[in-house]
Amino acid sequence: KDALALRENIASDTTAYRLIYGESDFLPGLVTDKYGRFVVLKTYSSSLSTILDDVVWALKTELNLKGILLRKSETLEALWGELPPEELTISENGLKFIANLYKGQKTGLFLDQRENRQTVRRLAKDKTVLNLFSYNGGFSVYALAGGASYVKAVDIAEAANLDANKNVVLNNFEPSKHEAITADVFDILSMFVQQRESFDIVILDPPTLAKDKQNRMAAIRAYRKLNMLAMRVVKKGGLLFSASCTSQVSEAEFKDMLKEAALKRKLKAQIIHHAGHALDHPVPLSFKEARYLKFIGLRIL
């Protein structure tokens, strides 16, 4: 009930959000996300099997649901109720997205970036936008909702780009204002640098680059290389939003990396925004490891 009470503050025009965030909600090993009238559970501890029935009972008692589901790799098991359609439409801050609860990243969508997408929306009017590691086009749709003049989205997965285009159309935006490119981000950035193509806003949201401490320094080097390239395609006075979901890299290390990248490029940069997860991903004072997401907005001069 404590976990549900926090989520009551989420806007009424949002139907997809995190209900239970493991240790952050004092239920270690359990992640529970709500998509409309379906709830998806992911477990990270075999010991949770002893309380799973109690969790299902609590959820179906407290919420008006159609189904409670357990996600295992790319399979979905109905613990109670019915299975969802393969393409389930949800709302986020009044915008619509297709969620695939069977095969989508995490439990279906990246819910942790919701409020950061809203930040981009507020700043996108009449701007050209480059959305890198764009997945299903979340940032693209928000940028168009904010009045962006044109968005290029780059992801190495063709299926993700097809989903991005679907989400653009689903929200009644002009398809010609959105170009989804299937390519390696390093390669496409190098090409844009050579062609001297630049953008008012660049969003850099790569997948996690290190899953253990041994790979932390390699991750920082990769982030530095990515951000140095990205800074070169931001127009003077434009914005770079750089994200990291790598828990092994701290916020201080991430900011230091950005400072080094700007210095190496001989650019001046101002931090205009720094944030983490949306409020449905709380962080206990005693478990700082739960704060994995860094989202820094830079003005490049």
Domain containing residue 33: CATH number: 3.30.750.80
- pTM as predicted: 0.95
Q: Is the dihedral of CA 169, 172, 176, 181 positive or negative?
A: negative
What pLDDT score was predicted for residue 48?
87
**Which of helix, strand or coil describes residue 141?**
helix
Answer yes or no: is 146 within a domain.
Answer: yes
CA distance 115 to 112: 8
Tell whether the model's pLDDT for residue 115 goes beyond 80.
Answer: yes
Give the tokens for residue 231.
């800074």
d(CA 174, CA 150): 10
Strands 30-35 and 16-21: what pairing? antiparallel
Same domain assignment for residues 85 and 116: no
Residues 27 and 125 in one domain: no
Give the per-residue pLDDT at 237.
98
d(CA 101, CA 218): 32
Q: Does residue 161 belong to any structural domain of this protein?
A: yes
Q: What pLDDT does residue 106 have? A: 82
Q: How many angstroms separate the Cα of 134 from the Cα of each of 8, 65, 138? A: 29, 30, 7
Last residue of a domain, one of 60, 93, 126: 93
| Same-domain status, 131 and 242 | yes
**pLDDT score recorded for residue 72:** 84
Mean pLDDT of the chain: 94
Residue 284: pLDDT band by 50, 70, 90 thresholds? confident
Say if residue 84 is in the same domain as residue 119: no
Q: How many domains does the chain have?
A: 2
Look at residue 290 and tell me if it is in a domain: yes
Q: Is the pLDDT of residue 111 over 90?
A: yes
pLDDT above 80: residue 41: yes
CB under 8 Å to 182, separation ≥6 — which residues?
155, 156, 157, 158, 161
Domain that holds residue 12: 2-93
Q: In CATH, what number is assigned to the domain containing residue 197?
A: 3.40.50.150
Residue-level pLDDT at 213: 79
Q: CA-to-CA distance for 254 and 296, rounded, in angstroms?
A: 9
- Enter the tokens of residue 157: 């997965």
Residue predicted with more confidence, 94 or 107 = 94
Is there a single domain that holds both residue 129 and residue 231? yes
- Residue 187 pLDDT exceeds 90: yes
Instruction: Answer yes or no: is 106 within a domain.
Output: no
Residue where the block lists tokens 């689903």: 170
| pLDDT score recorded for residue 214 | 83
In a domain, 149, yes or no: yes
- With pLDDT > 70 as the criterion, what percentage of the chain qualifies? 99
Query: β-strands 199-204, 178-182: how paired?
Result: unpaired
Q: Are residues 225 and 180 in the same domain?
A: yes
**Residue 100, domain member (yes or no):** no
The pLDDT of residue 252 is 95
Q: Is there a single domain that holds both residue 70 and residue 120?
A: no
- What are the tens digits of pLDDT across the range 121-131? 999 999 999 99
Nearest CA-CA partner of 132 in 151, 115, 154, 110 = 154
Query: Would residue 99 count as lying in a domain?
Result: no
Domain limit, last residue, from 24, 58, 93: 93
Length of the chain: 301
Q: Are residues 62 and 136 in the same domain?
A: no
Do 49 and 182 lie in a common domain? no
For the chain, give the percent of residues with pLDDT over 90: 80
Q: Is there a single domain that holds both residue 203 and residue 134?
A: yes
Quote the pLDDT of residue 116: 98
Question: Which amino acid, 4?
Answer: L
Q: Are residues 184 and 257 in the same domain?
A: yes
* Residue 43 pLDDT level (bands cut at 50, 70, 90): very high
Tell me which of 12 and 97 has the higher pLDDT. 97
Indicate whether 28 belongs to any domain.
yes
pLDDT tens-digit map of 129-147: 999 999 999 999 999 999 9
Residues that are catalytic = 245
Claim to verify: residue 61 and residue 207 sit in the same structural domain = no
